[in-house]
Amino acid sequence: MGAARGRVRAVAEREERTQRRAERSRRLDVPRAPRRGLLPEYDPDAFGRLSEKIARFLGTGRFLVWMTVTVVAWIAWNSVLPAEMRFDEYPFIFLTLALSLQASYAAPLILLAQNRQDDRDRVNLEQDRKQNERSIADTEYLSREIAALRLGLGEVATRDWIRSELEEVLKELRQGDGHTQRYGPPERDADDTRQDVRDGRGARDVRRERDDVRRERGDARREHGGDGPRPEA
């Protein structure tokens, strides 16, 4: 009876532990225990750097020289020395095995180094593409700004145009000095034109006002039936 009770108690405890473990695994506030794998853990970055160093060394002339010296010394040792000192007789099976083992490890290391280099090239290419896009956007913005400045400068009075307009105004003032009070308001003089230019008035506005003044003077002359008396020379 005691043995049967002990077995029943052990089964009950085992079921209780199983239920508690299942409840703990279903809860979100309890972290899972890390699973231990069969393979040893390692740092991928450190292993990648080591593989790159080995791949760089395998691609140098120093490695070729050392491998050639080793193979020649191996063959000479096992061919020239007495039989009791030889450890790899012809056809040098142990040497062939060593070279095959070296090649079998070198190929994956080189591929791993190439994959890391491809990843770096991909990142650099993406950065270069973004930089080119920013450069193109900046260039387009500057082009639009330059075009806007050119359009704005087209409306600004230049020095030569101001000089020519002032000369025309002075010439008209000299010619029509005797008709100013009779045929209409006086035309704008050089100081007023220069002041308009300083105030920011464009060439079109000044020319439009000058045309209006000429038109008013022409209407006044037609109303009086002629050009009026000529100014004395």
Residues 118 and 122: their CA atoms lie apart, in Å, by 6
Report whether pLDDT(154) > 80.
no
Is the confidence at residue 190, as pLDDT, over 60?
Answer: no
45: tokens are: 């970055």
Q: What angle do CA 3, 6, 12 make, to 5 degrees?
A: 145
Question: How confident is the model at residue 203, as a pLDDT?
Answer: 56
Q: Quick check: 167 pLDDT over 90?
A: no
* Pairwise pLDDT comparison (208 vs 166), residue with the higher score: 166
Q: How far is CA 175 from CA 32, 51, 124, 169, 191, in A?
A: 105, 96, 76, 10, 18
pTM of the predicted model as reported, rounded to 2 decimal places: 0.43
Token pair 């052990």: residue: 10
Q: Does residue 193 carry a pLDDT above 60?
A: no
pLDDT bucket at 191, cuts 50 / 70 / 90: low
Rounded-to-integer distance, Cα 131 and Cα 139, Å: 12
What's the pLDDT tens digit per position in 210-232? 777 777 766 666 665 544 444 44
Residue 134: the pLDDT is 93
pLDDT tens-digit profile of 94-146? 999 999 999 998 888 888 888 888 988 999 999 999 999 999 999 999 999 98
